[in-house]
Amino acid sequence: MQESTIQWPLGLDIKDLVGAGVTAIVARLDAVVKFFGPSESRFFEREKLIYQRLGSDHGGIVRYFGVLENALILQFASHTSIRQYFARQKQVPLSLKLRWVEQLFDVVRFIHSRRVLHGDISCNNIFLDGNLDVKLGDFAGSAIDDLPPLVCYETSHELPGEDISTRTELFALGSTVFEIMTGSKPYQDLNDHEVCSAFSEGRYPDLQSVSAFRNTIMGCWRQKYATVEEALQDIELEVATIKQSHTSRFCALLGRQTVLFPFLLTAVSLIPFIGWARRWRSL
| Residue 110, domain member (yes or no) | yes
* Structural domain includes residue 91: yes
Counting the structural domains of the chain, the total is 2
Same domain, 69 and 193: no
pTM over 0.95: no
User: What is the domain-level CATH number for residue 172?
Assistant: 1.10.510.10
Lowest mean pLDDT among 21-25, 30-34, 49-53: 21-25
Same domain? For 50 and 101 the reply is: no
pLDDT category at 30 given cuts 50, 70, 90 is confident
pLDDT band for position 19 (cuts 50, 70, 90): confident
Looking at the fold, whether 55 and 20 belong to one and the same domain comes out as: yes
The pLDDT of 35-43, averaged and rounded, is 95
Is the residue at 267 inside a domain? Answer: no
DSSP three-state, residue 222 = coil
Co-location of 162 and 127 in the same domain: yes
- Identify whether 253 is part of a domain: no
Instruction: Please indicate whether residue 134 or residue 262 has the higher confidence score (pLDDT).
Output: 134
For 111-132, write each residue's pLDDT tens digit: 999 999 999 999 999 999 999 9
State whether 31 and 156 are in the same domain: no
- Quick check: is 259 in a domain? no
pLDDT of residue 77: 96
Angle (CA) 86 90 94, round 5°: 85
One domain, residues 105 and 33: no
Among residues 168, 134, 132, which one has the least CA distance to residue 149? 168
Answer whether residue 4 shows pLDDT above 60.
no
pLDDT value of residue 90: 79
DSSP state of 175: H
pLDDT band at 1 (very low <50, low <70, confident <90, very high): very low
- Expressed as residue numbers, the domain containing 141 is 82-241
Are residues 182 and 148 located together in one domain of the fold? yes
State whether 185 and 125 are in the same domain.
yes
Across the range 233-254, mean pLDDT stands at 84
Which of 204, 221, 241 is the C-terminal boundary of a domain? 241
- pLDDT band of 257, cuts 50, 70, 90: low
**Contact in structure between 32 and 74 (CB atoms under 8 Å):** yes
In-domain check, residue 250: no
Let me know whether 114 and 68 are in one domain. Answer: no
Q: Indicate whether 95 and 30 sit together in one domain.
A: no
The CA–CA distances, whole Å, from 32 to 14, 26, 189 equal 20, 19, 34
What is the mean predicted confidence (pLDDT) over 241-260? Answer: 71
Q: Is residue 255 situated within a structural domain?
A: no
**What per-residue confidence (pLDDT) applies to 166?**
98
Residue 240 CB neighbour total at 10 angstroms = 11
pLDDT of the residue at 150: 97
Instruction: Assess if residue 206 is contained within a domain.
Output: yes
Model confidence over 161-175: pLDDT tens digits? 999 999 999 999 999
Q: Is the domain of 211 the same as that of 91?
A: yes
Considering only residues 132 and 68, tell me which one the structure prediction assigns the higher pLDDT. 132
With cut-offs at 50, 70 and 90, classify the pLDDT of residue 6: low
User: Is a pLDDT exceeding 60 seen at residue 259?
Assistant: no
HSE-CB for 276 with a 13 A CA cutoff: 5
Most confident of 23-32, 143-152, 250-259: 143-152
At which of 226, 241, 256 does a domain end?
241
Is 195 found in the same domain as 94? yes
